[in-house]
Structure 1
Amino acid sequence: MADKPRQLPLDLALMPRYGAEDFLVSPCNEAAYALIERWPDWPHPVLRLVGPEGAGKTHLAVMWAERAGATVADAAAVTLPAVPELAGAPALVVEDCDRSPLDEHAFFHLLNALRSTGSSLLLTARTAPEAWGLATPDLLSRLRQSPAVDIGAPDEALLRAVLVKLFVDRQLVVDTNVVESILPRMERSLAAAQRLVAALDREALSRGRRITRPLALAVLATLAMGES
Protein backbone atom coordinates (compact mmCIF):
# COMPACT_ATOMS: atom_id res chain seq x y z
CA MET A 1 0.00 0.00 0.00
CA ALA A 2 1.43 3.35 -1.00
CA ASP A 3 2.37 5.79 1.72
CA LYS A 4 0.04 8.68 2.24
CA PRO A 5 1.46 11.68 0.35
CA ARG A 6 2.83 14.48 2.49
CA GLN A 7 1.01 17.77 2.30
CA LEU A 8 2.92 21.00 1.88
CA PRO A 9 1.98 23.08 4.93
CA LEU A 10 1.46 26.78 4.44
CA ASP A 11 3.79 28.60 6.82
CA LEU A 12 1.17 30.97 8.18
CA ALA A 13 2.38 32.67 11.33
CA LEU A 14 -0.11 32.49 14.17
CA MET A 15 -0.85 35.95 15.49
CA PRO A 16 0.14 36.17 19.16
CA ARG A 17 -2.67 36.71 21.64
CA TYR A 18 -1.73 39.43 24.10
CA GLY A 19 -4.93 39.81 26.10
CA ALA A 20 -4.83 39.90 29.89
CA GLU A 21 -6.86 36.69 29.91
CA ASP A 22 -4.11 34.99 27.87
CA PHE A 23 -1.29 35.78 30.33
CA LEU A 24 -0.40 32.88 32.61
CA VAL A 25 0.81 34.05 36.02
CA SER A 26 3.33 31.93 37.92
CA PRO A 27 6.07 32.50 40.53
CA CYS A 28 8.59 33.40 37.79
CA ASN A 29 6.56 36.34 36.46
CA GLU A 30 4.16 37.32 39.24
CA ALA A 31 6.30 40.28 40.41
CA ALA A 32 6.35 41.72 36.87
CA TYR A 33 2.63 41.11 36.48
CA ALA A 34 1.91 42.81 39.81
CA LEU A 35 3.85 45.95 38.82
CA ILE A 36 2.04 46.17 35.49
CA GLU A 37 -1.27 45.89 37.31
CA ARG A 38 -0.13 48.43 39.91
CA TRP A 39 0.28 51.28 37.40
CA PRO A 40 -0.04 54.28 37.76
CA ASP A 41 1.18 53.71 41.32
CA TRP A 42 4.76 52.98 40.20
CA PRO A 43 7.84 53.63 42.33
CA HIS A 44 9.43 55.52 39.42
CA PRO A 45 8.13 56.92 36.09
CA VAL A 46 10.52 54.60 34.21
CA LEU A 47 10.35 50.84 34.68
CA ARG A 48 12.56 48.20 33.08
CA LEU A 49 11.17 44.74 32.31
CA VAL A 50 14.03 42.25 32.00
CA GLY A 51 13.89 38.61 30.96
CA PRO A 52 14.96 36.03 28.36
CA GLU A 53 13.49 35.71 24.88
CA GLY A 54 9.91 34.51 24.94
CA ALA A 55 9.49 35.12 28.68
CA GLY A 56 6.40 37.27 28.20
CA LYS A 57 7.90 40.77 28.16
CA THR A 58 6.01 41.83 25.04
CA HIS A 59 2.79 40.32 26.37
CA LEU A 60 3.08 42.34 29.58
CA ALA A 61 4.10 45.45 27.64
CA VAL A 62 1.05 45.22 25.38
CA MET A 63 -1.20 44.65 28.40
CA TRP A 64 0.23 47.75 30.04
CA ALA A 65 0.01 49.77 26.82
CA GLU A 66 -3.71 49.05 26.60
CA ARG A 67 -4.15 49.93 30.26
CA ALA A 68 -2.13 53.16 30.07
CA GLY A 69 -3.01 54.24 26.53
CA ALA A 70 0.67 53.96 25.68
CA THR A 71 2.42 54.16 22.34
CA VAL A 72 4.56 51.09 21.56
CA ALA A 73 7.86 51.54 19.70
CA ASP A 74 10.92 49.47 18.97
CA ALA A 75 14.21 50.80 20.33
CA ALA A 76 15.45 51.28 16.76
CA ALA A 77 12.64 53.82 16.24
CA VAL A 78 14.05 56.14 18.91
CA THR A 79 15.79 58.73 16.74
CA LEU A 80 16.17 62.48 17.22
CA PRO A 81 13.44 63.34 14.66
CA ALA A 82 11.05 60.92 16.40
CA VAL A 83 11.64 62.17 19.95
CA PRO A 84 8.97 64.94 19.95
CA GLU A 85 6.23 62.56 18.80
CA LEU A 86 7.28 59.78 21.18
CA ALA A 87 7.60 62.18 24.10
CA GLY A 88 4.14 63.54 23.36
CA ALA A 89 2.48 60.21 24.10
CA PRO A 90 0.66 59.89 27.45
CA ALA A 91 2.75 56.78 28.11
CA LEU A 92 5.38 54.91 26.11
CA VAL A 93 6.75 51.39 25.67
CA VAL A 94 10.18 50.94 24.10
CA GLU A 95 10.85 47.31 23.21
CA ASP A 96 14.11 45.35 22.76
CA CYS A 97 16.46 48.00 24.10
CA ASP A 98 19.40 45.59 24.03
CA ARG A 99 18.97 44.11 20.53
CA SER A 100 20.58 46.80 18.41
CA PRO A 101 22.84 49.77 19.09
CA LEU A 102 20.77 52.59 20.55
CA ASP A 103 20.83 56.12 19.26
CA GLU A 104 22.12 57.17 22.67
CA HIS A 105 21.78 60.89 22.03
CA ALA A 106 18.14 60.48 21.03
CA PHE A 107 17.43 58.11 23.90
CA PHE A 108 18.86 60.55 26.44
CA HIS A 109 16.75 63.38 24.97
CA LEU A 110 13.68 61.13 25.14
CA LEU A 111 14.25 60.41 28.83
CA ASN A 112 14.61 64.13 29.54
CA ALA A 113 11.48 64.98 27.56
CA LEU A 114 9.41 62.31 29.32
CA ARG A 115 10.67 63.52 32.68
CA SER A 116 9.41 67.02 31.90
CA THR A 117 5.97 65.76 30.84
CA GLY A 118 5.62 63.24 33.66
CA SER A 119 4.79 60.41 31.25
CA SER A 120 5.40 56.79 32.21
CA LEU A 121 7.94 54.72 30.26
CA LEU A 122 8.26 50.94 30.13
CA LEU A 123 11.47 49.49 28.67
CA THR A 124 11.92 45.82 27.75
CA ALA A 125 15.24 44.04 27.34
CA ARG A 126 16.89 40.69 27.89
CA THR A 127 19.68 42.21 29.97
CA ALA A 128 20.52 45.12 32.26
CA PRO A 129 21.79 48.42 30.77
CA GLU A 130 25.35 47.56 31.78
CA ALA A 131 25.30 44.88 29.06
CA TRP A 132 23.98 47.14 26.28
CA GLY A 133 27.39 48.52 25.32
CA LEU A 134 26.42 52.12 26.08
CA ALA A 135 29.08 54.78 25.57
CA THR A 136 27.19 57.65 27.25
CA PRO A 137 27.79 57.65 31.02
CA ASP A 138 24.86 59.99 31.73
CA LEU A 139 22.46 57.71 29.85
CA LEU A 140 23.71 54.63 31.67
CA SER A 141 23.40 56.43 35.00
CA ARG A 142 19.85 57.54 34.21
CA LEU A 143 18.82 54.02 33.21
CA ARG A 144 20.36 52.55 36.34
CA GLN A 145 18.16 54.83 38.43
CA SER A 146 15.04 53.20 37.03
CA PRO A 147 13.83 50.09 38.89
CA ALA A 148 13.89 46.75 37.10
CA VAL A 149 11.64 43.76 37.51
CA ASP A 150 12.96 40.42 36.32
CA ILE A 151 11.07 37.58 34.69
CA GLY A 152 12.74 34.29 35.53
CA ALA A 153 12.91 30.97 33.72
CA PRO A 154 9.52 29.21 33.69
CA ASP A 155 8.85 26.51 36.25
CA GLU A 156 7.42 23.17 35.17
CA ALA A 157 3.83 24.13 35.95
CA LEU A 158 4.01 27.26 33.80
CA LEU A 159 5.75 25.46 30.95
CA ARG A 160 3.05 22.78 30.98
CA ALA A 161 0.29 25.39 30.97
CA VAL A 162 1.97 27.29 28.12
CA LEU A 163 2.30 24.14 26.00
CA VAL A 164 -1.38 23.36 26.49
CA LYS A 165 -2.36 26.95 25.67
CA LEU A 166 -0.21 26.99 22.52
CA PHE A 167 -1.82 23.77 21.30
CA VAL A 168 -5.30 25.16 22.03
CA ASP A 169 -4.49 28.43 20.24
CA ARG A 170 -3.64 26.40 17.13
CA GLN A 171 -6.75 24.23 17.58
CA LEU A 172 -4.60 21.12 17.97
CA VAL A 173 -5.97 18.18 19.94
CA VAL A 174 -3.07 16.65 21.85
CA ASP A 175 -3.22 13.94 24.51
CA THR A 176 -1.89 14.67 27.98
CA ASN A 177 0.76 11.96 27.61
CA VAL A 178 2.29 13.90 24.70
CA VAL A 179 2.75 17.00 26.84
CA GLU A 180 4.12 14.98 29.75
CA SER A 181 6.58 13.21 27.45
CA ILE A 182 8.08 16.33 25.89
CA LEU A 183 8.08 18.45 29.04
CA PRO A 184 11.16 16.92 30.73
CA ARG A 185 13.06 16.68 27.43
CA MET A 186 12.67 20.20 26.07
CA GLU A 187 14.62 23.38 26.72
CA ARG A 188 13.05 25.15 29.68
CA SER A 189 12.05 28.40 28.04
CA LEU A 190 8.83 29.83 26.68
CA ALA A 191 10.53 30.64 23.38
CA ALA A 192 11.45 26.95 23.01
CA ALA A 193 7.84 25.98 23.71
CA GLN A 194 6.65 28.32 20.96
CA ARG A 195 9.16 26.91 18.45
CA LEU A 196 8.29 23.32 19.36
CA VAL A 197 4.53 23.72 19.03
CA ALA A 198 4.92 25.56 15.71
CA ALA A 199 7.17 22.75 14.41
CA LEU A 200 4.72 20.07 15.60
CA ASP A 201 1.85 21.88 13.90
CA ARG A 202 3.76 22.01 10.59
CA GLU A 203 4.88 18.39 10.78
CA ALA A 204 1.44 17.05 11.70
CA LEU A 205 -0.13 18.98 8.84
CA SER A 206 2.48 17.81 6.33
CA ARG A 207 1.87 14.19 7.33
CA GLY A 208 -1.89 14.58 7.56
CA ARG A 209 -2.01 13.04 11.00
CA ARG A 210 -2.55 14.03 14.60
CA ILE A 211 0.28 14.74 17.02
CA THR A 212 1.29 11.56 18.81
CA ARG A 213 4.02 10.87 21.34
CA PRO A 214 6.42 9.32 18.76
CA LEU A 215 5.89 12.23 16.38
CA ALA A 216 6.43 14.77 19.16
CA LEU A 217 9.65 13.11 20.31
CA ALA A 218 10.93 12.89 16.74
CA VAL A 219 10.29 16.60 16.12
CA LEU A 220 11.87 17.47 19.45
CA ALA A 221 14.98 15.48 18.50
CA THR A 222 15.16 17.20 15.11
CA LEU A 223 14.96 20.62 16.74
CA ALA A 224 17.67 19.66 19.22
CA MET A 225 19.97 18.54 16.39
CA GLY A 226 19.40 21.81 14.55
CA GLU A 227 20.38 23.82 17.62
CA SER A 228 23.49 21.78 18.45
Structure 2
Amino acid sequence: MSVPQLPLALRYPPDQRLESFFAAPAGAIAQLQALAQTRGADWLYLAGASGTGKTHLALALCAAAAQAGRRPAYLPLLAASGRLRDALDALEGNDVVALDGLEAIAGHRDDEVALFDFHNRARSAGLNVLYTAQDVPGSLALSLPDLRSRLSQNTRIVLNQLDDAARAELLRDRARRRGLVLEETAIDWMLARTDRGLASLLALLDRLDRESLAAQRRITVPFLRQVVESSSSIAGDA
Protein backbone atom coordinates (compact mmCIF):
# COMPACT_ATOMS: atom_id res chain seq x y z
CA MET A 1 0.00 0.00 0.00
CA SER A 2 1.42 3.37 -0.98
CA VAL A 3 2.00 6.01 1.68
CA PRO A 4 0.07 9.24 0.99
CA GLN A 5 2.23 12.32 0.49
CA LEU A 6 1.73 15.19 2.91
CA PRO A 7 1.02 18.61 1.38
CA LEU A 8 4.23 20.43 0.48
CA ALA A 9 3.47 23.36 2.80
CA LEU A 10 3.20 20.99 5.76
CA ARG A 11 6.33 19.05 4.98
CA TYR A 12 8.81 21.85 4.40
CA PRO A 13 8.76 25.33 6.02
CA PRO A 14 7.68 27.92 3.42
CA ASP A 15 10.60 30.22 4.27
CA GLN A 16 13.11 27.50 3.45
CA ARG A 17 13.26 27.50 -0.34
CA LEU A 18 16.18 27.64 -2.74
CA GLU A 19 15.05 31.01 -4.11
CA SER A 20 14.91 32.53 -0.60
CA PHE A 21 18.45 31.51 0.39
CA PHE A 22 20.56 34.59 0.85
CA ALA A 23 24.13 35.11 -0.41
CA ALA A 24 24.69 31.61 -1.80
CA PRO A 25 28.08 30.88 -3.40
CA ALA A 26 28.12 31.39 -7.17
CA GLY A 27 26.40 28.55 -8.97
CA ALA A 28 25.26 26.79 -5.79
CA ILE A 29 21.53 27.30 -6.27
CA ALA A 30 21.68 26.01 -9.84
CA GLN A 31 23.56 22.92 -8.65
CA LEU A 32 20.94 22.28 -5.99
CA GLN A 33 18.13 22.80 -8.49
CA ALA A 34 19.71 20.21 -10.76
CA LEU A 35 20.09 17.76 -7.86
CA ALA A 36 16.41 18.27 -6.98
CA GLN A 37 15.08 17.82 -10.49
CA THR A 38 17.46 15.76 -12.62
CA ARG A 39 18.27 12.08 -12.20
CA GLY A 40 22.00 11.55 -12.35
CA ALA A 41 22.95 15.09 -11.29
CA ASP A 42 26.19 15.57 -9.39
CA TRP A 43 25.93 14.65 -5.72
CA LEU A 44 26.66 17.60 -3.45
CA TYR A 45 28.47 18.11 -0.14
CA LEU A 46 27.62 21.31 1.75
CA ALA A 47 30.24 22.36 4.30
CA GLY A 48 29.89 25.27 6.68
CA ALA A 49 29.87 26.26 10.32
CA SER A 50 26.70 26.22 12.39
CA GLY A 51 24.33 28.97 11.28
CA THR A 52 25.46 29.17 7.66
CA GLY A 53 22.22 27.75 6.24
CA LYS A 54 22.97 24.07 5.62
CA THR A 55 19.64 22.87 6.99
CA HIS A 56 17.79 25.59 5.06
CA LEU A 57 19.30 24.30 1.82
CA ALA A 58 18.73 20.64 2.69
CA LEU A 59 15.02 21.28 3.32
CA ALA A 60 14.82 23.58 0.30
CA LEU A 61 16.28 20.82 -1.87
CA CYS A 62 13.54 18.46 -0.72
CA ALA A 63 10.85 21.09 -1.34
CA ALA A 64 12.16 21.68 -4.87
CA ALA A 65 12.26 17.94 -5.53
CA ALA A 66 8.67 17.49 -4.33
CA GLN A 67 7.60 20.43 -6.48
CA ALA A 68 9.17 18.68 -9.47
CA GLY A 69 7.19 15.52 -8.78
CA ARG A 70 10.08 13.58 -7.30
CA ARG A 71 10.15 11.72 -3.98
CA PRO A 72 12.46 13.45 -1.47
CA ALA A 73 13.55 12.50 2.03
CA TYR A 74 15.30 14.61 4.67
CA LEU A 75 17.19 12.92 7.52
CA PRO A 76 18.88 14.87 10.36
CA LEU A 77 21.72 12.54 11.28
CA LEU A 78 21.86 13.68 14.90
CA ALA A 79 18.39 12.20 15.40
CA ALA A 80 19.47 8.90 13.82
CA SER A 81 22.85 8.53 15.52
CA GLY A 82 23.32 5.02 16.90
CA ARG A 83 20.58 3.52 14.69
CA LEU A 84 21.53 4.89 11.32
CA ARG A 85 21.22 1.65 9.38
CA ASP A 86 17.52 1.36 10.19
CA ALA A 87 16.95 5.04 9.37
CA LEU A 88 18.71 4.73 6.02
CA ASP A 89 16.87 1.50 5.14
CA ALA A 90 13.63 3.46 5.59
CA LEU A 91 14.70 5.84 2.82
CA GLU A 92 14.49 3.16 0.13
CA GLY A 93 12.16 4.21 -2.67
CA ASN A 94 12.99 7.90 -2.61
CA ASP A 95 14.58 9.78 -5.50
CA VAL A 96 16.36 12.58 -3.63
CA VAL A 97 17.87 12.25 -0.14
CA ALA A 98 19.31 14.99 2.07
CA LEU A 99 21.51 13.76 4.94
CA ASP A 100 22.06 16.66 7.31
CA GLY A 101 24.91 16.87 9.83
CA LEU A 102 27.55 14.23 9.13
CA GLU A 103 29.53 15.27 12.21
CA ALA A 104 26.82 13.63 14.36
CA ILE A 105 27.83 10.14 13.26
CA ALA A 106 31.58 10.70 12.82
CA GLY A 107 33.50 8.27 15.03
CA HIS A 108 30.53 5.89 15.42
CA ARG A 109 31.83 2.97 13.41
CA ASP A 110 28.52 1.11 13.01
CA ASP A 111 26.86 4.28 11.72
CA GLU A 112 29.78 4.99 9.40
CA VAL A 113 29.60 1.48 7.94
CA ALA A 114 25.84 1.89 7.48
CA LEU A 115 26.36 5.19 5.66
CA PHE A 116 29.11 3.70 3.48
CA ASP A 117 26.79 0.86 2.48
CA PHE A 118 23.92 3.28 1.80
CA HIS A 119 26.19 5.50 -0.31
CA ASN A 120 27.14 2.58 -2.53
CA ARG A 121 23.54 1.34 -2.86
CA ALA A 122 22.28 4.83 -3.63
CA ARG A 123 24.88 5.28 -6.37
CA SER A 124 23.88 1.98 -7.96
CA ALA A 125 20.18 2.82 -7.71
CA GLY A 126 20.56 6.25 -9.30
CA LEU A 127 19.47 8.28 -6.26
CA ASN A 128 20.47 11.91 -5.89
CA VAL A 129 22.10 12.65 -2.52
CA LEU A 130 23.04 15.79 -0.61
CA TYR A 131 25.36 15.63 2.39
CA THR A 132 25.88 18.47 4.86
CA ALA A 133 28.54 18.83 7.54
CA GLN A 134 30.26 21.48 9.60
CA ASP A 135 33.56 20.67 7.92
CA VAL A 136 35.04 19.11 4.80
CA PRO A 137 35.47 15.31 4.74
CA GLY A 138 39.19 15.47 5.45
CA SER A 139 38.53 17.34 8.71
CA LEU A 140 35.70 15.18 10.05
CA ALA A 141 36.56 12.68 12.80
CA LEU A 142 35.65 9.71 10.63
CA SER A 143 37.08 6.29 11.52
CA LEU A 144 36.32 4.68 8.15
CA PRO A 145 38.80 5.77 5.44
CA ASP A 146 36.61 4.38 2.64
CA LEU A 147 33.69 6.54 3.77
CA ARG A 148 35.92 9.62 3.83
CA SER A 149 37.02 8.76 0.29
CA ARG A 150 33.42 8.42 -0.94
CA LEU A 151 32.39 11.73 0.64
CA SER A 152 35.40 13.49 -0.86
CA GLN A 153 34.25 12.53 -4.37
CA ASN A 154 31.10 14.70 -4.15
CA THR A 155 30.96 18.20 -5.56
CA ARG A 156 31.71 20.51 -2.64
CA ILE A 157 29.98 23.78 -1.77
CA VAL A 158 31.38 25.80 1.14
CA LEU A 159 29.02 28.18 2.95
CA ASN A 160 30.40 31.19 4.80
CA GLN A 161 29.03 33.15 7.74
CA LEU A 162 27.15 36.32 6.80
CA ASP A 163 28.46 39.66 8.00
CA ASP A 164 26.13 42.12 9.73
CA ALA A 165 25.25 43.92 6.50
CA ALA A 166 24.18 40.62 4.94
CA ARG A 167 22.27 39.62 8.09
CA ALA A 168 20.39 42.93 7.94
CA GLU A 169 19.51 42.38 4.27
CA LEU A 170 18.34 38.85 5.07
CA LEU A 171 16.00 40.20 7.77
CA ARG A 172 14.65 42.81 5.34
CA ASP A 173 14.06 40.13 2.71
CA ARG A 174 12.27 37.76 5.13
CA ALA A 175 10.17 40.63 6.47
CA ARG A 176 9.16 41.64 2.93
CA ARG A 177 8.17 38.08 2.09
CA ARG A 178 5.91 38.01 5.17
CA GLY A 179 4.43 41.45 4.55
CA LEU A 180 6.00 42.77 7.76
CA VAL A 181 6.95 46.39 8.35
CA LEU A 182 10.35 46.09 10.04
CA GLU A 183 11.92 49.44 10.84
CA GLU A 184 15.64 49.93 10.15
CA THR A 185 16.21 50.94 13.77
CA ALA A 186 14.63 47.64 14.83
CA ILE A 187 17.03 45.71 12.59
CA ASP A 188 19.99 47.58 14.07
CA TRP A 189 18.72 46.82 17.58
CA MET A 190 18.32 43.12 16.80
CA LEU A 191 21.88 42.86 15.52
CA ALA A 192 23.31 44.79 18.47
CA ARG A 193 21.25 43.41 21.36
CA THR A 194 20.22 39.85 20.53
CA ASP A 195 21.86 36.58 19.48
CA ARG A 196 23.18 37.28 15.95
CA GLY A 197 23.12 33.63 14.86
CA LEU A 198 20.85 33.18 11.84
CA ALA A 199 18.66 30.57 13.49
CA SER A 200 18.09 32.83 16.51
CA LEU A 201 17.43 35.93 14.39
CA LEU A 202 14.91 34.12 12.20
CA ALA A 203 13.21 32.54 15.21
CA LEU A 204 12.87 36.03 16.70
CA LEU A 205 11.42 37.29 13.42
CA ASP A 206 8.87 34.45 13.54
CA ARG A 207 7.84 35.54 17.02
CA LEU A 208 7.67 39.19 16.03
CA ASP A 209 5.45 38.24 13.10
CA ARG A 210 2.99 36.47 15.40
CA GLU A 211 3.00 39.03 18.18
CA SER A 212 2.83 42.10 15.97
CA LEU A 213 -0.16 40.58 14.20
CA ALA A 214 -1.86 39.80 17.52
CA ALA A 215 -1.17 43.29 18.88
CA GLN A 216 -1.73 45.04 15.53
CA ARG A 217 1.54 46.93 15.99
CA ARG A 218 4.49 47.85 13.80
CA ILE A 219 7.83 46.32 14.73
CA THR A 220 9.51 49.29 16.36
CA VAL A 221 12.40 49.24 18.84
CA PRO A 222 10.07 49.64 21.88
CA PHE A 223 7.88 46.75 20.67
CA LEU A 224 10.94 44.63 19.88
CA ARG A 225 12.41 45.31 23.33
CA GLN A 226 9.10 44.34 24.91
CA VAL A 227 8.99 41.04 23.03
CA VAL A 228 12.61 40.18 23.84
CA GLU A 229 12.24 41.07 27.52
CA SER A 230 9.03 39.03 27.73
CA SER A 231 10.82 36.04 26.23
CA SER A 232 13.72 36.42 28.68
CA SER A 233 11.29 36.63 31.59
CA ILE A 234 9.52 33.44 30.51
CA ALA A 235 12.84 31.61 30.14
CA GLY A 236 13.91 32.79 33.59
CA ASP A 237 10.71 31.51 35.19
CA ALA A 238 11.00 28.08 33.55
| TM > 0.5 fold call | yes
Correspondence for 1:37: 33
Correspondence for 1:95: 100
Give matches, 1:138-157, under 5 Å.
138-157=146-165
Number of aligned residue pairs: 207
What root-mean-square deviation, in Å, do the aligned CA atoms of Structure 1 and Structure 2 show? 3.8
Name stretches of at least 5 consecutive residues in structure 2 with no aligned partner: 1-12
Larger radius of gyration: 1
Counterpart pick for 1:19 among 2, 13, 17: 17
Deviations 1:177-204 (A, max 9, x none): 2224544666654234225436767998
Give matches, 1:27-176, under 5 Å.
28-39=24-35, 45-68=42-65, 69=70, 70-75=72-77, 76-77=79-80, 79-101=84-106, 102=108, 103-167=111-175, 173-176=181-184
Q: 1:81 to 1:189 in 2, by over 3 A?
A: closer
Q: TM-score with structure 1 length normalisation?
A: 0.68
Kindly state the Cα deviation for residue 86 of structure 1 after the two structures are TM-superposed: 2.2
Q: Secondary structure at the match of 2:86?
A: helix
Higher relative contact order (CA 8 A, sep 6+): 1
What is the CA–CA distance in structure 1 between the aligned matches of 2:58 and 2:168, rounded to whole Å?
Answer: 23
Q: 1:155 to 1:19 in 2, by over 3 A?
A: same
- Give 2:76's aligned amino acid: D
The answer to whether the 8 A contact 2:17-2:64 is kept is no
- Give 1:18's aligned amino acid: Q
Give matches, 1:176-195, under 5 Å.
176-183=184-191, 189-195=197-203
Kindly state the Cα deviation for residue 33 of structure 1 after the two structures are TM-superposed: 1.6
Name stretches of at least 5 consecutive residues in structure 1 with no aligned partner: 1-14
Q: TM-score with structure 2 length normalisation?
A: 0.66
Kindly state the Cα deviation for residue 97 of structure 1 after the two structures are TM-superposed: 1.7
- Give 2:15's aligned amino acid: R
Kindly state the Cα deviation for residue 107 of structure 1 after the two structures are TM-superposed: 0.5
Q: Secondary structure at the match of 2:104?
A: coil
- Give 1:72's aligned amino acid: Y
What is the CA–CA distance in structure 2 between the aligned matches of 1:34 and 1:56, rounded to whole Å?
Answer: 16
Q: 1:42 to 1:132 in 2, by over 3 A?
A: farther
Q: 1:80 to 1:32 in 2, by over 3 A?
A: same
Q: Secondary structure at the match of 2:98?
A: strand
Kindly state the Cα deviation for residue 100 of structure 1 after the two structures are TM-superposed: 4.5
The answer to whether the 8 A contact 1:87-1:113 is kept is no
What is the CA–CA distance in structure 2 between the aligned matches of 1:162 and 1:35, rounded to whole Å?
Answer: 22
Kindly state the Cα deviation for residue 114 of structure 1 after the two structures are TM-superposed: 0.8
* Identity score, percent: 31
- Give 1:47's aligned amino acid: L
Kindly state the Cα deviation for residue 105 of structure 1 after the two structures are TM-superposed: 1.3
Q: Secondary structure at the match of 2:103?
A: coil
Correspondence for 2:7: none
- Give 1:137's aligned amino acid: P
